[in-house]
Chains A and B, each alone.
Chain A
Amino acid sequence: MSEALTHSAGSAGRARSFSGEAAAPVQDLLVPLRRQTPVSRANPVAKLAAVVVLMLGVLLSIDLVSAGVMFALLAVIAVPASGLDVGALIRRLWFLPVAALLAGWATAIMAEKTGAVLLDLGPYLVTTDSLSAGAAITLRALALALPGVCVAATTDPTDLADALVQHLRLPERFVLSALAAARLVTLFVEEWKTLVLARRTRGIGADSPLGRVRALVPLAFALLVQAIRRGTRLAMAMEGRGFGTRARTWSRISRFHARDAWLVAGACVFSALSIGAAVVAGAWRLILT
């Protein structure tokens, strides 16, 4: 390179690094995890068991009391115990409460109109009973979603795969392939953005909202082509390392600890409390009866 150009990276406004890494979360899958807790560290199989127990607690009856008690217990105890960043949880998953409210509103309008009339706007008639049915649906939806969100956000996919194979005896070929493929999903997000830009430079940019919608199908197809290419290469890399040849060993052993028992026991208590409260209050209405 000629002399004259060696100074071309001018001193003006040189790079300055940020020291922002200290505040980085321990893990960021769906919602950032601020700190590890006994709940976040629990065995994935125990977490799944806890989710099933909690779901039974809210699914067996459609009433305001059991759903309300469960939602309160989860919001006040379970979410803080998970170690998740609550602010980020609300920011990223704001659409869940919105959807729950919409479902509740729809129920309030559609449900049987008994009790006192609260709101009468022609077709929109809301009574005390229909409103309580709507509120029950909203709270139930939230109480169903929260445990799933907590488990998804606190469980490392690799740990989940280990636990599923070692404890639940799921087929290892399938589980490990799915685990490796899941890692490609983040690449696909980047790939999608690139494909959008590549189309624009060819003269079919999404210049209008309608154009953006029309571009979805060809974009999805282009992404599928890329996905197959990448998947094929990944499969080859895995086979090149002897995947699927003989009996496999596991360097990571998925173990159960006391905290796993406590987690499942806690879930049982939550369910018992919410069902008990509903029975005592006389609100208990078993589904399918």
Chain B
Amino acid sequence: MTALPITARGFGWTHSGRARPALSGLDLRIEAGERVLLAGASGAGKSTLLHAIAGVLPEESGDSRGSLLVGDAPPAAARGVAGLVLQDPDSQVILARVGDDVAFGMENLGVPADRIPGRVREALETVGLPVDAAHPTRALSGGQKQRLAIAGVLAMDPGVIVLDEPTANLDPAAVPAVRDAVLAAQARSGATMVVVEHRLEIWADHVDRMIVLGTDGVVADGAPETVLGDAALRSLLEGAGLWLPGTAVPCLRTGAGRASGSGGAPAVSGRAVPGSGAGGLPSPGEVLLTAEEVAVARTGGPPVAVVSAEVRSGRALALTGPNGAGKSTAALTLAGLLPEASGAARASESLLAGPRRPRSAQPSRWRSRALVTRIGMVFQEAEHQFLRHTVADELGFGPHRAGWAKSRIAERVEELLTRLRLTELAQAHPQTLSGGEKRRLSVACMLAAAPQVLVVDEPTFGQDALTWRELAAMFAEELDGGRAVVAVTHDEAFATALGADRLEFSACGRGCAGDRSAQDGSAQDGSARGGTAARNEGTPHV
């Protein structure tokens, strides 16, 4: 299919049940075959515009104004002409086998059956996923799943390809391959391409044009170097929470893991860092939690890693390494949520002290009411943790479970609402918040009952620069207050900002994580054969 232009004239959209329109009065013309990076603050209506172009905004789900044309037809009539790639890899896999999944779009468009297999192969090759058509889709990694979705769209021979933050849920190592797959698919089909992304550096060098949406329509529009070269626009974009290429990332705390300022983006600057000779490293506090050769495993699963680590007051520990190496499982175990497969994590005397003192030193054996005031955890997907109907209730829940007095809870909730800029949302339902707000709330919930150890799983995933800075500052403050942070993270800048010690996980083949025999083996066996070994070497004193 030949590439199609996109024309918006006074286009607007209001989701039903909302007073404020998601988009209003948008005038825009995107030429056929153009590659466009669409940016803007969260809430500017970027996703709504993409969904509208792809024709997947159901008429009954809101009110439309003005006109939006793909080619010379409204998008709903031309559904399938614009291929859509979404953010979450798991929700876009449609069928169980790779070949079937790529064929799905073509079948829907009525492509003759004999032409489908050839186009499937071609599309998979273009996106760099040369696997067998019968390969199971569930065995693909997140980045591979995204490339699969791109292949599925490419095979449809679309006039327009729209992508909604296609790399936001991936670890940084997987991002370039997915971006290249998108570019290859665009080059192959010649389709008009619109990609939404708040990390501008991923796309800035690869698109023809950058459009910035504000709450009142287009704020900036032009070649990326023009838009990014304009100082006034740059500060506007920064204020909107966008990640600009070369943005300074603050180093809030010093530590062993501090990166040097040159080389990769983003560069490090910010608060003055005492030189190593000045003896400026914060002295590591006392040990709160120790794990010595602990084998970690999911509920009912075989051991996936063996971990030795010390969690110390006032220090951050970053769990790093490739996906599937057992980082999250290790974090859940340190947080006392999963029982150890062998060995034991042990809490120190100062972590055990206090009301509802647990009898065992092993956090996985504590009652949940004892856990909530000692070790807190934030999951990768914030939604999993919300239990109440309002933000204020949510914040008061942990302290309530810990048995705090009413007045003390009210005080604490007030304090957290202010500190996390959630005061206006105190009565809102947690599930209705934006992504950044949900993340801030989930962290605030963890802090509420004042645990000494804070365990977080990819806290900065998919967050805009504003939320990122807030989160980094908040954790730095908690560290200054003597708490310990354990963070599973692919975000080098985040680990650096906290001056974190590193606990590196090395991956092994898929076979070892899924092997059945590990389950039957003794605990000792599991530890010897566990998929991953990681050792925390701690901080060298300089």
Contacts and interface: CB of A to CB of B under 8 A. Distances in A.
A5 interface: yes
A123 interface: no
B529 A205 contact: no
Given A8-B503, A19-B511, A236-B51, A244 B108 contact: yes
Contact of A186 (B109, B110, B138, B368): B138
Interface in B63-112: 79-80, 82-86, 88, 90-97, 100, 103-112
A204 B445 CA distance: 13
Contact of A247 (B54, B110, B149): B110
B5 interface: no
B121 to A, nearest CB: 12
A288 interface: no
B401 A242 contact: no
Contact of B113 (A13, A16, A240, A249): A249
Interface in A180-239: 180, 183, 186-187, 191, 193-195, 197-205, 207, 218, 222, 225-226, 229-230, 233-234, 236-239
Contacts of B88: 233
Given A1-B257, A245-B108, A234 B91 contact: yes
B96 A202 contact: no
A17 interface: yes
Contact of A8 (B111, B375, B507, B537): B537
Contacts of B501: 5
Interface in B173-199: none
Most B-side CB within 10 Å, residue of A14, A19, A20, A203: A203
Nearest to A218: B387
Contacts of A207: 367-368
B532 interface: yes
Interface string A109-120: 000000000000
Contacts of A195: 384
A88 B127 CA distance: 39
B253 to A, nearest CB: 14
Interface residues of A, number: 66
Interface in A154-202: 156-158, 179-180, 183, 186-187, 191, 193-195, 197-202
Interface of A: 1-2, 4-5, 7-10, 12-21, 156-158, 179-180, 183, 186-187, 191, 193-195, 197-205, 207, 218, 222, 225-226, 229-230, 233-234, 236-253
16 contacts: A8-B503, A10-B533, A15-B506, A19-B511, A183-B95, A183-B96, A201-B375, A203-B402, A236-B84, A241-B83, A241-B84, A241-B156, A245-B80, A249-B106, A250-B113, A251-B103
Interface of B: 51, 54-56, 79-80, 82-86, 88, 90-97, 100, 103-113, 116-117, 120, 138, 149, 152-153, 156, 256-259, 293, 298-299, 306, 332, 335, 337-338, 367-369, 371-372, 375-377, 379, 381, 383-385, 387, 397-398, 401-402, 431, 445-446, 449, 501-512, 514-518, 528-537, 540, 542
